[in-house]
Amino acid sequence: MLQNIEKLLEEARQFKAGTKEEIEQFRIKFLGKKGLLSDLFARFKEVPAHQKKETGQKINQLKQFVLKKIETQLENLGEEGVQEDGQDLSLPGPPLALGARHPISIVRNEIISIFGRLGYTISEGPEIENDWHVFSALNFPPEHPARDMQDTFFIEKDPDILLRTHTSSVQVRVMEKESLPIRTISPGRVFRNEAISARAHCIFHQVEGLYIDENVSFADLKQTLLYFAREMFGKHVEIRLRPSYFPFTEPSAEMDISCQICGGKGCNVCKYTGWLEILGCGMVDPNVLEYNNIDSIKYTGFAFGMGIERVAMLKYQIKDLRLYFENDLRFLEQFQAAY
Ligand code: PHE
């Protein structure tokens, strides 16, 4: 009998529960009405007198051990969080999917970073503007057809209030309040009354740049834009400037970059020209400097402006502008932010 108790003690020592169920079975096996312990107590009377004391002690020891064991096993289970239904609450949770940055944000941050390396600050201004900051201070004469170049949303009751059609308005605000030299870019949302299609939207984003100092030349503009194009699209990119017209710059140009898909040979992305249009630029018109109380004899400057959607389309081969606004996760999850 002593040997038997010893064996049961060993069995109880080895016992390790995974669930509450197993502990309950263990309890029934040892402490239940027909359990091992009541069996031992029942057979106690058969134990020879001289072994009674030792045997009795052993049986009690076993009983105490089993009780203690049940207690500690229940505690352990509680700690590890295994529930009655076998669910282990201590397991790590399913991984949370991390969101991705919107491609417009990625490209905007990249543009900001590139011009930041050239010493450009960031300026912001209101989206609801007045005529002065969007047009007049930028040398759009009243009634001039150039105002039609940008289909403006006006507030019906007060045509002086409008949604800015470009962030050049921010540059006027910078010229008003900051001292020279000025070297700043203005990223922001702009609005034009256009029908929504794969190539046009009534809301889009721009980054415009302004640099005013003594002796700023067209060569500085070209070099700045070449640096930008190569940082943004790769070091083999070529640029070309085509004469253009903007009321606030003279001379004005539009910049193309060599098509990265075909390397300039011609393909359907660049419509077999080898070039892709990317931004407008030019030397700040002296009128604009004078409107903003800057001495146009002493100071010169250049300005440029680009659509972020357009840059992102070229960078990522996005064919339809509407994708930016539809929030389809299958689209949004494809962009990895380096910025
Ligand atoms: N503001 C112009 C536009 O929105 C872009 C531009 C900026 C062109 C600066 C020349 C110089 O189309």
174 located within any domain: yes
Identify the pLDDT of residue 143: 83
Asked whether the whole model's pTM tops 0.85, one would answer no
**Same domain, yes or no, for 17 and 157?**
no
**Same domain, yes or no, for 111 and 74?**
no
301 located within any domain: yes
Q: Assess whether pLDDT exceeds 80 at residue 18.
A: no
Q: Please, which pLDDT band fits residue 124 given cuts at 50, 70 and 90? A: very high
The strand order across the sheet containing 249-258 reads: 121-122, 182-191, 203-213, 300-307, 275-284, 249-258, 239-246
Output 168 or 157, whichever has higher pLDDT: 168
Q: Where are the beta strands (DSSP E) in 66-140?
A: 121-122, 128-130
**Same domain, yes or no, for 141 and 177?**
yes
Sequential DSSP letters for 41-63: HHHGGGS-HHHHHHHHHHHHHHH
Q: Please, which pLDDT band fits residue 81 given cuts at 50, 70 and 90? A: low
Identify the pLDDT of residue 104: 95
Q: Please, which pLDDT band fits residue 85 given cuts at 50, 70 and 90? A: confident
Range of the domain at 204: 103-338
Q: Is the CB of 168 inside a 6 Å radius of any atom of ligand 1? A: yes
Q: Is the CB of 280 inside a 6 Å radius of any atom of ligand 1? A: yes
Q: Whose CA is closest to 311, among 243, 232, 230?
A: 232
Output 17 or 306, whichever has higher pLDDT: 306
97 located within any domain: no
pLDDT in tens, 254-281: 999 999 888 888 888 888 999 999 999 9
**Same domain, yes or no, for 72 and 156?**
no
**Same domain, yes or no, for 111 and 73?**
no
Q: Assess whether pLDDT exceeds 90 at residue 16.
A: no
Taking 3-state DSSP, the helix, strand and coil percentages for the chain, each rounded to the nearest 5, stand at 40, 20, 35
260 located within any domain: yes
Residue 113: which CATH number?
A: 3.30.930.10
- Testing ligand 1's pocket by substitution, the residue of 246, 285, 300, 310 carrying the most ligand atoms inside 8 A of its CB is 246
**Same domain, yes or no, for 115 and 255?**
yes
pLDDT in tens, 282-318: 999 999 999 999 999 999 999 999 999 999 999 998 9
**Closest Cα to atom 8 of ligand 1:** 280
**Same domain, yes or no, for 208 and 253?**
yes
184 located within any domain: yes
**Same domain, yes or no, for 76 and 124?**
no
- Testing ligand 1's pocket by substitution, the residue of 123, 135, 150, 166 carrying the most ligand atoms inside 8 A of its CB is 166
